[in-house]
Amino acid sequence: MDFFVEEETNLLRRAVCWATDIIVVIALACFTVHAFGGQITVMGNSMSPLLESGDVVLMNRIGYDLGKPERFDVVVFQREDQKQNIKRVIGLPGETIQIVDGQILVNGQVIEESEDQKKIALAGLAENPVELGEDEYFLLGDNRDSSEDSRFANVGNVKEHQILGKVWFQIYPTVEMGNVQ
């Protein structure tokens, strides 16, 4: 009889420990997502093929409290109209950006991009040199022919305080789960 009571007690203890572990892991995951970043759903195809409309990504808010955005970072920023967008950092504070013959020039030098990046058909404001202030960034979508970005007056140069964080991890769809580069 003592054997069955002891066995039930051990089984109950293991179940309580298991349930406690699950609750702690879920609580830590929720805390991490909310304290260090946020979950963003991609709207539109301006970052295609990297990110498609409906994809869900995690954003690191704290990273830019400790440092500054770097060239080619994928960031979330808040536009003047309060909409949040995801774009790639191309120009850094103090630089001059221009798009000539479909290529991006930073301070007069062509920047090297991935081979799958097509030439830019519409230079927009960057047809002429765009000088960035000490707290401004020039952002472009990866899908340059279908992106509302710093080339256009309704977005323009993005101030540092508008950048909410760096996109670092894609969580949906699960087949695409992984770090965002």
Catalytic annotation, residues: 46, 87
Residue 54: helix, strand or coil by DSSP? coil
Supply the DSSP string of 97-158, one letter for each residue.
Answer: EEEETTEEEETTEEPP--TTPPPPS--GGGGS-EE--TTEEEEE-SSGGG--STTSTTT-SE
Region class of 125: left (phi > 0), else alpha (psi between -120 and 50), else beta = alpha
* Kind plus residue range of the DSSP H or E element containing 44: none
d(Cα 78, Cα 82) in Å, to the nearest integer? Answer: 6
